[in-house]
Structure 1
């Protein structure tokens, strides 16, 4: 079962969702990321590298595209850089919603693929 903890900051616009990867398969991970798509988010990811478990904090980004069921793009709002993350290596994800910095139109650079629906229907 998917365990998601919701925490409220002093600012009601900020909600934190934390995903526990032990409790879900790829379906749950894709859905929680899909729910954050096209929102400006701060992302903290803990993931397995080849050498060790790493913690990474990513500046405000938008999740803009899934390449396939295991990989998704994050695009930086500040400098337009793309980052790639493999979902199957992620241990947990913490998403913090940010105030809108750039309009949605400015960041519609890539097509969006909704993998949540297709993957869930495979189970």
Structure 2
């Protein structure tokens, strides 16, 4: 049996999760006003936190897929959202929303998420 579970975060929720994760892990954040958070897909998936400083310059903080997944999982845990223990996690972006997909069994979550988006 195979299962795919997804949790969809809007940009604000994902940004809050990442900022909390960075503070908890004593990772310094750029000073300024939070501009946004997004996912970049290329050779690998990365999260990018954008901050505008007092002079209007934009600074980006890049997080690995593992860091973003850890931030989103921690965010869910603090809100008592049940998560599968023995599942691999995949991060992707769909329609300006961040998707945390849990693969249980041997399926390709990224392909399944995109296929369901095309059908719906």
TM-score tier by shorter-chain length is 0.3 to 0.5
Higher gyration radius (CA) = 2
Task: Tell me the TM-score normalised to structure 2 length.
Answer: 0.36
